[in-house]
Amino acid sequence: MKKRVLSVLLVAAMLGTLLAGCEKKPEASTDSTASADGDVVKIGVFEPASGDNGAGGKQETLGIQYANYVTPTVEIGGKEYNVQLEIVDNESSNDKAPSAAATLVSAGVSVALGSYGSGVSIAGSDTFKEAGIPVIGVTCTNPQITEGNTHYFRICFLDPFQGTVLANFANESFMATKAYVLTKLGDDYSTGLGHYFTEAFEALGGEVIEETFQEGNSDFTSYITSAKNEGAEVFFAPSSTEVAALLIEQAASQGLNIPLLAGDTWDSNVILNAAEGKDVDIYVSTFYQEGGNPKFDEGIKEWINSDATAKANNGGDDTVSGLTVMGYDAYYVALEALKAAGSTDPAAVNEALWDVTYTGVSGDISFDEIGDAKRNAAYIKHANTETGAWDFVAEQTVAE
């Protein structure tokens, strides 16, 4: 009997706090936007904050938040609107993506940004499509995302491009003829990029050993041993930052003496921290090299350093990731589209997006007939294990 009472009290207390929090909600949101006349346009942020890709998603979100901090309002149809970010966590999981997307849809966003990770982008796509809400992909590089969709755009380059860039780089810089490609099962980004790299590398006359690992795997020693045994000259591992940290650690302790190559996801200080002071040779392709726009760097660093949460989300320091830059640019592309549409109606924004052009920190952005950004350059960076920073290596382009 006592227990019954206790449990009832417990539940009641819980519900009480919930309701209390609930009631205050509208007040809280009006608090933060009380300055203007109350016109609000909502931009959805569809990013992972937890799970495998949580680190990357947070850095991308950071760029969006910073942009929102710099430019909190937008003029649509001659009227000043406050921009409110609706941030939702898709948990890096394809099966959680549709309901996360639905949360944004029911929050009434005019346009959504995201996601880091191609799989969740594809998985959430249809929910947005059904609701007629346009989405701007920030760093999701798999071709399937925009293919056949009129509502999905993206401002980054694509995997076939990135794969070719990296294959060329491996071939030219290291004279590599044998590559070890390690991809994650069921991860569209990883599988896709691995596939295009393999295609390009084999076209250059190279040989590829392909291996896969399963979700939840944290033991990479066997893969590293295999790579060594097979006599591979480069180790290509498109994967999440979480896997990267483990892989780097184990590669160093096993004395893997060949270069580690990876795509845009590895452009993160997680990698730098893992590599610092270790004997590893890491190259990544990415969208931005710190120092490309000193003014922007300075501004965002100041902001990150002033906000403890932001700093924690950036991995504990103020290194500017390419992901953050892309997030920043994506926000402005969304604003441009809103301006051009002259309305907060998602359909109008969708229509306007086709013709948006914008010069962002990461370069010129405009969309082709599929909705992909017209980009033809990627940066290659090298992790400096002594200073714990990225060294610029080359800007690579691919002849069409």
Partner 1 sequence: MKKQTKTILNVGLIAALLLLLFILEQIIPSSSMLFMVLKKGAIYALVAVSMNLLNGFTGLFSLGQAGFMLLGAYTYAILTIPVESRDSVYQYFDGGIIQFSIPVPLALIAGGIVAAVFAFLIGLPVLRLKSDYLAIATLGFAEIIRAVFQWDKLGPLTNGSNLLRNFPTFQSVLYPFIVAGICIGLIVLLINSTYGRAFKAIRDDEIAAEAMGINLAHHKQLAFVISSFFAGISGGLLAMYQTTIQASMFKSAMTYEILLIVVIGGIGSVTGSCIGSFLFIACSEWWLRFLDNSNLYIGDFHLSFMRPGFRKVVFSLMIMAIVLFYRKGLMGDREFSVEGVRRFFQKRFKKKQAVEGGSSHE
Partner 2 sequence: MEWITKNLPYLMAGISVGGQYALIAIGYTMVYGILRLINFAHGDIFMVAGLIMVYAVTAMPMPLAMLLVVVATVALGFLVERAAYKPLRSAPRMSVMISAIGVSYLLQNLALYITGGLSQQYPAIPWLSDTVTILGATTKRVTLVTPVLTIILVIVLGLLVKYTKVGMAMRAASRDFETSQLMGIKINSVISMTFIIGSFLAAVGSMLYFTNYTGVTPTAGAMPGLKAFVAAVFGGIGSIPGAVIGAFIIGICENIIKGVGWTTFSDAFTFALLIVILIAKPTGLFGEKAVDKV
Window 82-101: residues binding partner 1 (CB under 8 A) = 89, 93-95, 98-99
Residues with Cβ within 8 Å of residue 38, at least 6 apart in sequence: 30
Q: Is 253 among the residues that bind partner 2 (CB under 8 A)?
A: yes
3-state secondary structure of 267: coil
Q: Which one of partner 2, partner 1, none interacts with residue 211, CB within 5 to 8 A by kind?
A: partner 2
Secondary structure of 314-373 in HEC code, one letter for each residue: CCCCCCCCHHHHHHHHHHHHHHHHHHHHCCCCHHHHHHHHCCCEEEECCEEEEECCCCEE
Selection from 152, 117, 155 nearest residue 133 by Cα: 152
Selection from 342, 327, 322 nearest residue 79 by Cα: 342
Q: Is 229 among the residues that bind partner 2 (CB under 8 A)?
A: yes
HSE-CB at 292 with a 13 A cutoff on CA atoms is 21
* Sign of the CA dihedral running 218, 222, 228, 232: negative
Instruction: Tell me phi and psi for residue 207, to 5 degrees.
Output: -115, 140
- Check: CB of residue 392 under 8 Å from CB of residue 182: no
Q: Is 26 among the residues that bind partner 1 (CB under 8 A)?
A: no
Q: Closer CB to partner 1, residue 164 or residue 191?
A: 191
Identify the residue among 1, 25, 294, 386 touching partner 1 (CB under 8 A): 25
Q: Is 21 among the residues that bind partner 1 (CB under 8 A)?
A: yes
| Interatomic CA distance for residues 168 and 80, integer angstroms | 48
Q: Is 17 among the residues that bind partner 2 (CB under 8 A)?
A: no
Q: Is 212 among the residues that bind partner 2 (CB under 8 A)?
A: yes
Q: Is 187 among the residues that bind partner 1 (CB under 8 A)?
A: yes
Identify the residue among 150, 173, 212, 376 touching partner 1 (CB under 8 A): 212
Identify the residue among 162, 250, 289, 321 touching partner 2 (CB under 8 A): 250
Residues at the site binding partner 2, with contacts judged by CB under 8 A: 3, 48-51, 54-55, 58, 89, 91, 185, 211-214, 216-219, 221-223, 225-226, 229, 241-242, 245-246, 249-250, 252-255, 270, 273-274, 312-313, 315
Residues at the site binding partner 1, with contacts judged by CB under 8 A: 3-4, 6-7, 10-11, 14, 18, 20-22, 24-25, 27-29, 31-32, 49-50, 89, 93-95, 98-99, 102-103, 105-106, 119, 122-123, 125-127, 130-131, 144, 147-148, 185-188, 191, 195, 212, 214-215
